[in-house]
Amino acid sequence: MFGLEKEEIVRRDLLVYLWAKFVSNTGYRFFSRPHLENPYDLKKLKKENAVFLYTALHKSLWETSGVMSSIYLQKLPTPYIGMGDNLVKGKLFQKLAAKTGAFLVKRPQTRKDVLESSKKLKQYIIYYMAHGVDVSIFPEGTRRNIPDKREYGNFFPTAFEAVLEYEKNKKKILAEYKGLTAHDVYIVPFNVDYSKVREDYEIIRELEGKPHTLHILDSLKMIRHIGDLYISFGEPIKIADHLDKTRKELAVYTREKCLGLVKILPINIVSWAILDAHEAGRLDRDKILDCMRVNMEKLAGLKDRFRGFEPGESPKGILDKVARYEKNFKDITPAHLPFYRLYADYINHYMKKK
């Protein structure tokens, strides 16, 4: 069965799924301020028998559940989601996660684990594609690329190998497994930008050598931290038009599409200015405002990606906006530099080009 054992195939349990959907939708609607941007008619593609591989950059654990609500509320099928098994601790919670439609992939520790994990992920994706089930994954593999490397990570190619393999071998699969329908596979790039990354303090603690592992119940505890978020869907990529690409080339191509969806928020602008203004352990507010003005001019060519502020808005007004919801911007000190760096680096790929 596509290389999977029968007991390995994840199927939703209706009651558990409905409970998870209620929790997720409640948080999405009442504890966050989502701004959805999707100019593409995905429902039309669905009617034409398309199946989607949703792919995104990875900033927060919120994406693994919250984005599902944005898809559901667009009246699109809720995808099954691939997650590292380290994100869900304990057999009970892993079973519950599977019943909501999450298939867990072993986080590799050795070379052998890497090969086995990649093989299993490919099998899952091909299985669901063949059955017309949408899948969502985060090909970076970890949300730690920004805090560790100060840039978004490369996309692992396994998922892209899977969609290429399905598209190239569709007729063979249909001949071998009776009752299946042919589907056109599309990659749907998306991205989420946060005015407040819900686990930002936990990430900073890890950078300072104080590891903190988030558990499934943290989703409920930290839901109040979300605030404004911008969910952006990019143009669907039809795999049949890219069969000349290798799996690595398709991974790079998709990553570029995701990077182009990143929005520039007030907290990113202020944080970059703080880093630029920092000098010998000192931070001067006037210098921060000057640096904000300079950086906004540098980014003027990307004003279509500005959200939450206008190109001609005063630096002070932008700083005041951020200070109203984040205490670290009310009292700006060098002690909070790792915090500012985290938010600055979410737009590092734009700043490096200027």
Task: Walk me through the domains of the chain, giving residue ranges and CATH numbers.
Answer: 6-259 (3.40.1130), 266-351 (no CATH)
Q: Which residues of 1-37 are buried (b: 16+ CB within 10 A; e: fewer)?
A: ebeeeeeebbebeeebeeebbebbbebbeeebebeee
Site of tokens 């000057």: 290
Sorted by sequence, the CB contacts under 8 Å of residue 303 that are 6+ apart come out as 311
Range of weakest confidence among 8-12, 103-107, 214-218, 247-251: 214-218
What mean pLDDT do residues 1-24 have?
A: 84
What mean pLDDT do residues 155-175 have?
A: 94
pLDDT of residue 178: 85
Sorted by sequence, the CB contacts under 8 Å of residue 38 that are 6+ apart come out as 74, 231, 232, 233
pTM of the model: 0.91
Tell whether the model's pLDDT for residue 10 goes beyond 90.
no
Q: What value does the mean pLDDT of the chain take?
A: 89
Tell whether the model's pLDDT for residue 217 goes beyond 80.
no
* Widest pairwise Cα distance in the chain: 70
pLDDT of residue 194: 94
pLDDT digits (tens, 9 = 90+) for 218-240: 655 656 667 899 999 999 999 99
What mean pLDDT do residues 311-338 have?
A: 94
214: confidence class by pLDDT, cuts 50, 70, 90: low
pLDDT digits (tens, 9 = 90+) for 94-141: 788 888 888 877 766 666 667 788 888 999 999 999 999 999 999 998
pLDDT of residue 221: 61
316: confidence class by pLDDT, cuts 50, 70, 90: very high
